[in-house]
């Protein structure tokens, strides 16, 4: 058997390994895919899987291909072939590990992992412990990975027979055949990486996966993790799509908010509580819309607080990661394509709630109980205008608390203690102030303090480990407000409570393309000045900044991609997110799914068709046309402002 035949056999082995990983990926996340799986075209899924696996295998096996196909007779020696075998096993073994590990990580992100994961966790020193926990919890996936890598090793095909080249004719024949194979392979590899053979085909990207499935979440089925990571190395995610001229663009959508400057500003304090993974699913008071009288709530305190707050029927996060939540909530910058803070645009000048209020004499501080610098929060807090940062270091220096004895062992200081620290530190601040706190306890590895192990234990039949964490955080919030009520600043404060993103889901309603973004948003003013009501409209994280500034009577123009919920009519509220290269634009009764290639993929009436089964594309006339036009303008404004560094208002920047 020649080295060429052996090479082909081993590539087939790689394809089979990728296929097994895909089956594991789907089975491990079946609840996320099951609802629409029966509607998928298996022919298209297999076609897409083949295309992306080909690209991934070609990318990762280039060195192996060279070792096996170079027209050089020395490669037939045992030492060379042993090296080639180890290159194949190691490279494809790593691909197996990446695919299988991502099968677990999908639950938290709803997408295939990209290269930004290394930046996201670059400052964390606890990943070994976290990964160790997951290895134990998913031992069966570890065994599958070991079996697949062993199969690569033991089923690997090596050329059989000893090469004998004793005559000139034999040399010429050998080199002609292997040169021909090598020359033929090069364009095949290029076509495989590009995703096609026609001149119209450009190198495929992650977003191309959407053409083989019905829902953005399902794009993960046809993708593979090596491809997703390789295709996002050093990628510039922001590019002006040029849908409209600049003049027309500003008439359709303009992210510059010009407030009413005749209103006197009230110097209320602002407290923004960003609660880790505090999705709508866990909060019973939100979920009466499903008509289930037995809907289980895990947040009795927040349920009661909602009765005295301004909130909304449909509230959405703009991203699926903590680093997506920070810019969305504090600076009204949504997540498009990749996390803003991990892109080159993160060095742009940017403002936010703290930056704008700082112009009016507000003191500002950001709180996060993890190691200072964790997740890049400290850097972004400074960028968006916060003067001071209080993290685990500052907590340990406060003699009123127990320091690292209150560390959860994985991520941060337990929420209960850190929220108390937060409440008391605000009493030391000069008013007015704007502060934000990012909690940490409702997070993997899903544990609560030992003293609450029985109080918040997993309930019989409940296999979602998030529930006990949410109950603990809800109790910690109750104690925070009990302490805050005793402070002099309490009555003169606007509280905002929101989630950074959603997390592990048990309800099918929150495993849909929209449900994955079902975050919580509420505004609470203990003075009663802000009416307590549940408005029948849409709200998103990027609306928080303009709504807060509007409530205070802030008069200066500023850039925000969201809307002021206090002055925007219910019918004009909207939300947007991006999942696997597919934009989702929610407005009125409809959600539009739109590819980053500029094509409407689907439009649904989510109010009557929450599970998005009935695609109304082409049936809604002017409604669809206006939604598409506005969505294109939002995307273009975002891309232009990112690339041109225009995220703050300036009279000198041709606004």
What is the CATH number for 392? Answer: 3.40.720.10
What tokens appear for 424 in the block? 């008391």
- Does any domain span residue 235? no
Token pair in block for residue 129: 């412990």
Tokens coding 127: 């990943």
Burial of 277 (0-12, 13-18, 19+ CB in 10 A): buried
In 3D, which of 569, 357, 465, 481 has the Cα closest to residue 107?
A: 465
DSSP three-state, residue 119: helix
- Are 169 and 288 within one domain? no
The alpha carbon torsion through 27, 29, 35, 36 (nearest 10 deg) reads -80
* Residue 217 in tokens: 């979440």
Res 200: pLDDT: 45
State the sign of the Cα–Cα–Cα–Cα dihedral 429, 372, 349, 547.
Answer: negative
Query: Rounded mean pLDDT of the chain?
Result: 89
DSSP secondary structure of 243-312: -S-HHHHHHH---EE---TTSPPP--EEEEEEETT--GGG-GGGGGGG--TT---S-HHHHHHHTTSEEE
Q: What pLDDT does 236 receive?
A: 66
Q: Which domain does 137 fall in, by range? A: 3-230
What letter does residue 212 receive in the DSSP assignment?
A: G
Cα–Cα dist 314/517, whole Å: 10
Q: Is 583 helix (H, G, I), strand (E, B) or coil?
A: strand
- Using alpha carbons, select from 72, 63, 67, 53 the residue that is nearest to residue 13: 53
Query: What pLDDT band is residue 579 in, cutting at 50, 70 and 90?
Result: confident
Give buried/exposed letters for 230-255 (b at 16+ CB in 10 A, else e): bbbeeeebbeeeebbeeeebeebbeb
* Residue where one domain finishes, among candidates 196, 215, 230: 230
Distance CA 96, CA 87 (A): 14
pLDDT the model gives residue 116? 65
Looking at residue 458, its pLDDT comes to: 84
Cα–chain-centroid distance for residue 108? 8
What phi, psi does 498 have (nearest 5°)? -150, 165
Residues 550 and 605 in one domain: no
Q: For residue 428, what are its two tokens? A: 């030391």
Strand partners, 574: 587
Pairing of strands 574-579, 521-524: unpaired
For the stretch 500-516, pLDDT in tens is: 999 989 999 999 999 99
User: In 3D, which of 109, 159, 184 has the Cα closest to residue 3?
Assistant: 159
* Confidence check: pLDDT of 207 > 80: no
pLDDT of residue 452 exceeding 70: yes
What is the structure's pLDDT at 262? 76
Q: Classify 529 as helix, strand or coil.
A: coil
In a domain, 599, yes or no: yes
Is residue 215 domain-shared with residue 335, that is, in the same domain? no
- Do both 55 and 15 map to the same domain? yes
Question: Do 23 and 159 belong to one domain?
Answer: yes
Q: What is the DSSP string of 484-527?
A: HTTSTTGGGEEEEEEES------SGGGSSTTGGG---EEEE-TT
The answer to whether residues 548 and 541 touch, using CB atoms and an 8 Å cutoff, is no
* pTM (predicted TM-score): 0.78
Are 552 and 585 found together in one domain? no
Counting beta carbons within 10 angstroms of the beta carbon of residue 391, is it exposed (0 to 12), middle (13 to 18) or buried (19 or more)? buried
Q: Are residues 582 and 552 in the same domain?
A: no
> Residue 265 domain-assigned?
no
Choose the most confident range, by mean pLDDT, from 22-26, 109-113, 159-163.
22-26
400 and 431 in one domain? yes
586 found inside a domain:
yes
The domain boundary, picked from 528, 559, 590, lies at 559
Q: Closest by alpha carbon to 43, among 212, 227, 221, 216?
A: 212
pLDDT at 41: 85
CB neighbours (10 Å) of residue 156? Answer: 17
Task: Round to the nearest angstrom and report the end-to-end CA distance of the chain.
Answer: 69
In a domain, 367, yes or no: yes
For residue 560, give the nearest of 569, 549, 572 by alpha carbon: 549
Q: Do both 383 and 459 map to the same domain?
A: yes
Q: Partners of 493 in the beta sheet?
A: 269
Contact 93, 152 (CB under 8 A): yes
Would you state the pLDDT for residue 40?
86
pLDDT level of residue 185 (50, 70, 90 thresholds): confident
Please write the tens of the pLDDT for every residue from 231-248: 877 666 788 999 999 999
186 found inside a domain: yes
Q: How confident is the model over 545-551, as a mean pLDDT?
A: 97
Total domains present in the chain: 3
Six-digit token pair at 337? Answer: 């394509």
> Residue 598 maps to which CATH number?
3.30.1120.10
Residue 159 has what pLDDT?
A: 85
With 80 as the cut, is the pLDDT of residue 624 above it? yes
Does the pLDDT of residue 434 top 60, yes or no?
yes
Q: For residues 634 and 229, what is the distance between their CA atoms, to the nearest angstrom?
A: 27
User: In Å, what is the CA distance from 247 to each residue of 251, 370, 438, 653?
Assistant: 7, 46, 40, 15
Residues 206 and 278 in one domain: no
Residue 266 resides in a domain: no
Pairing mode, strands 363-368 and 433-438: parallel
* pLDDT surpasses 90 at 483: yes
Q: What is the pLDDT of residues 366-422, one digit of tens each?
A: 999 998 878 778 888 988 999 999 999 999 999 999 999 999 988 899 999 999 999
What mean pLDDT do residues 176-200 have? 80
CA distances to 129, 500, 506, 572 from 316, in Å: 32, 10, 18, 15
- For residues 590 and 576, the answer to whether their CB atoms sit within 8 Å is no
What's the confidence (pLDDT) of residue 84?
92
What band does 315 get if pLDDT is binned at 50, 70 and 90? very high
Q: What is the pLDDT of residue 169?
A: 66
Same domain, 587 and 505: no
Distance of alpha carbon 221 from alpha carbon 223, whole angstroms: 6
d(CA 189, CA 186): 5
Q: pLDDT-derived band of residue 162, with 50, 70 and 90 as boundaries?
A: low
Higher pLDDT, 108 or 322: 322
| Residue 287 scores a pLDDT above 70 | yes
Distance between CA 254 and CA 173 in Å, rounded?
A: 68
What DSSP element (H or E) covers 144? helix 139-154
Q: Is residue 516 part of a domain?
A: no
The mean per-residue pLDDT over the stretch 184-212 comes to 76
**Coil, helix or strand for 458?**
coil
Report helix, strand or coil for 401.
Answer: coil
Q: Do 196 and 318 belong together in one domain?
A: no
- 523 Cβ neighbours under 8 A, 6+ residues apart: 309, 310, 311, 494, 495, 496, 530, 547, 548, 551
Residues 254-280: tens digit of each pLDDT: 999 999 877 889 999 999 999 999 999
- The burial class, CB within 10 Å (0-12 / 13-18 / 19+), for 143 is exposed
d(CA 550, CA 263): 10
Write down the pLDDT at residue 191: 86
Least confident of 192-201, 207-216, 316-325: 192-201
């Amino acid at each position: 058997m020649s080295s060429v035949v052996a090479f082909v056999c081993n590539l087939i082995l790689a394809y089979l390994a990728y296929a097994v990983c895909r089956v594991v990926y789907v089975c491990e996340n079946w609840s996320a895919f099951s609802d629409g799986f029966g509607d998928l075209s298996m022919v298209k899924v297999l076609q897409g899987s083949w295309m992306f696996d080909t690209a991934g295998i070609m990318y990762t096996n280039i060195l192996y291909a060279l070792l096996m196909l170079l027209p050089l007779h020395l490669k037939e020696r045992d030492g060379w072939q042993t090296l080639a075998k180890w290159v194949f096993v190691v490279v494809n073994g790593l691909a197996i590990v990446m695919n299988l590990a991502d099968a677990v990580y999908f639950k938290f992100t709803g997408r295939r992992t990209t290269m930004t994961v290394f930046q996201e966790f670059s400052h964390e020193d606890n990943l070994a412990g976290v990964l160790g926990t997951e290895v134990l919890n998913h031992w069966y996936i570890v065994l599958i990975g070991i079996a697949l890598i062993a199969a690569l090793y033991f089923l690997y095909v090596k050329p059989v027979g000893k090469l004998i080249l004793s005559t000139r004719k034999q040399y010429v024949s050998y080199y002609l055949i292997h040169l021909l194979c090598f020359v033929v392979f090069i364009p095949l590899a290029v076509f495989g990486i590009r995703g096609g053979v026609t001149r119209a085909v450009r190198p495929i990207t992650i977003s191309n996966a959407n053409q083989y499935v019905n829902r953005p979440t399902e794009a993960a089925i046809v993708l593979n993790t090596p491809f997703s990571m390789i295709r996002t190395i050093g990628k510039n995610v922001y590019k002006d799509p040029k849908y409209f001229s600049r003049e027309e663009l500003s008439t359709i959508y303009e992210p510059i908010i010009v407030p009413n400057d005749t209103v006197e500003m009230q110097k209320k304090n602002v407290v923004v509580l960003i609660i880790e993974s505090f999705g709508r699913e866990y909060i019973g008071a939100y979920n009466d819309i499903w008509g289930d009288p037995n809907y289980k709530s895990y947040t009795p305190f927040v349920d009661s607080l909602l009765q005295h707050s301004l909130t909304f029927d449909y509230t959405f996060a703009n991203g699926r990661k903590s680093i997506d939540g920070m810019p969305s909530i504090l600076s009204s910058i949504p997540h498009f394509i990749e996390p803003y803070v991990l892109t080159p645009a993160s060095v742009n000048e940017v403002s936010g709630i703290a930056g704008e209020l700082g112009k009016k004499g507000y003191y500002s501080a950001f709180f996060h109980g993890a190691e200072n610098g964790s997740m890049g929060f400290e850097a972004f807090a400074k960028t968006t205008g916060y003067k001071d940062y209080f993290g685990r270091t500052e907590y340990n220096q406060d003699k009123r608390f127990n320091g690292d004895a209150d560390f959860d062992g994985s991520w941060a200081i337990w929420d209960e203690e850190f929220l108390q620290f937060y409440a008391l530190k605000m009493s030391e601040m000069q008013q007015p102030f704007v502060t934000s706190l990012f909690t940490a306890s409702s997070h993997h590895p899903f544990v609560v303090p030992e003293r609450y192990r029985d109080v918040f234990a997993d309930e019989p039949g409940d296999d979602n480990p998030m529930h006990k964490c949410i109950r603990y955080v809800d109790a910690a919030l109750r104690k925070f407000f009990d302490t805050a009520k005793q402070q002099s600043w309490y009555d003169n404060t606007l509280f905002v409570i929101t989630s950074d993103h959603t997390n592990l889901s048990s309800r099918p309603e929150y495993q849909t393309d929209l449900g994955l973004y079902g975050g919580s948003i509420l505004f609470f003013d203990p003075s009663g000045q802000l009416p307590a009501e549940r408005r029948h409209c849409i709200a998103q994280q990027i609306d928080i900044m303009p709504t807060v500034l509007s409530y205070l009577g802030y008069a200066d123009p500023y850039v925000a991609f969201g809307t002021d919920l206090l002055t925007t009519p219910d019918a004009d509220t909207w939300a947007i997110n991006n999942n696997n290269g597919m934009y989702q634009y929610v407005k009125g009764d409809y959600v539009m799914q739109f590819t980053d290639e500029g094509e409407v993929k689907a439009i649904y009436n989510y109010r009557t068709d929450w599970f998005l089964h009935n695609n109304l594309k082409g049936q809604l006339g002017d409604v669809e046309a206006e939604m598409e036009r506005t969505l294109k303008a939002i995307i273009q404004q975002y891309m232009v402002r990112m690339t041109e560094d225009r995220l703050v208002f300036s009279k000198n920047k041709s606004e």
